[in-house]
Structure 1
Amino acid sequence: MQIQVLNSLPTDIDTIFQFYDMAVAHQKKVFNKHWQGFSLELVHTEVAENRQYKILVDGVVACVFAVTFNDKLIWADRDHDSIYIHRIVTHPEYRGYSFVKEIIKWAKEFAIANGIKYIRMDTWADNEKLLEYYTSCGFDFVGVVTMEQTKGLPKHYEGISLSLFEIIV
């Protein structure tokens, strides 16, 4: 089995949105919150800026995720020297492949090559299952933030609290 982490291409955008639709359907089944959709412009920008990624298993897209290098509204004064991982979606046929660990491995290499000190991510503060999973993957829980300013963030950030996680590279 060959696993590759590659930049997404403009031709992957339909696949990315299919993955987001699968994620929302899954979130609705297993949790009381779900994503509220993402703009096509956002994803186009991420692809153009090489911040949207795909994980291939034997040449087939099995997972997608996005990154950013600033996240001031969520991380406030701690927003520096970081790569932030967002919107990890695994195709249902590939659940159990530990793609978060693959993403961490990739992110550590990226961080070292680019002088980045932290790998960070967030999730809903009351999603116990994900909180346990992210810490089991090597993230440290570093606190909870309640979102007050969300302009520019996807709609699902409105009026929520987030658990924050990081790995020091």
Structure 2
Amino acid sequence: MQIQVLNSQHSDLDTIFQFYDMAVEHQKKVFNKHWQGFNKELIETEITDSRQYKILVDDEVACIFAITFDDKLIWGNRDKDSIYIHRIVTHPEFRGYSFVKEIIKWAKVFAAKNGIKFIRMDTWADNDKLLEYYTSCGFDYVGVVTMEQTEGLPKHYEGISLSLFEIKV
């Protein structure tokens, strides 16, 4: 089995949105909150800026995720020297492959090459299952933030509290 982390291409746009639709369907089954959809221009910009990724297993897209290098609305004054991982979606046929751990391995190499000190993530503060999972993958839980300003963020950030996680590289 060959696993590769590669930049997504504009030709992957339909696949990315199919993954988001699968994620929302799954979120509705297992939790009381779900994503509210994403702006196509956001995803296109992430692809153009080499911040949207896919994980291939034997040349098949198994997982997608996005990164950013600033997240001030969520991380406030701690927003520096970081790579932020967002919107990890695993295809249902590949659940259990521990892609978060693969993303962490990839992010540690990326961080080392680019002088980045932290790998960071967030999730809904009341999602105990993901809190437990992310800490089991090596993230430190660093607290909760309640979103006050969300302009420029996807709709699901409105009026929520987030658990914050980081790994010091």
Please give the range of the TM-score, normalised by the shorter of the 2 chains. Answer: over 0.9
Amino acid at match of 2:84: Y
Amino acid at match of 2:47: V
Give the drift of 1:116.
Answer: 0.1
Give the drift of 1:136.
Answer: 0.1
Amino acid at match of 2:141: F
Question: What residue ranges of structure 1 are gaps of 5+ in the alignment?
Answer: none
What is the aligned partner in structure 1 of residue 120 from structure 2?
A: 120
Give the drift of 1:23.
Answer: 0.1
Amino acid at match of 1:159: G
Matches for 1:19-38 after TM superposition, within 5 Å = 19-38=19-38
CA deviations over 1:1-39 (Å, ceiling 9, x no partner): 000000000000100000000000000000000000000
Question: What residue ranges of structure 2 are gaps of 5+ in the alignment?
Answer: none
What is the aligned partner in structure 1 of residue 95 from structure 2?
A: 95
The list of structure 1 runs, each at least 4 consecutive aligned residues, that deviate by more than 4 angstroms after superposition, is none
CA distance in 2, matches of 1:40, 1:155: 13
The TM-score, its normalising length taken from structure 1, stands at: 1.00
What is the aligned partner in structure 2 of residue 163 from structure 1?
A: 163
CA distance in 1, matches of 2:13, 2:155: 20
What is the aligned partner in structure 2 of residue 80 from structure 1?
A: 80
What is the aligned partner in structure 1 of residue 44 from structure 2?
A: 44
What is the aligned partner in structure 2 of residue 138 from structure 1?
A: 138
- Taking only aligned residues, the RMSD between alpha carbons, in angstroms, comes to 0.2
Amino acid at match of 1:26: H
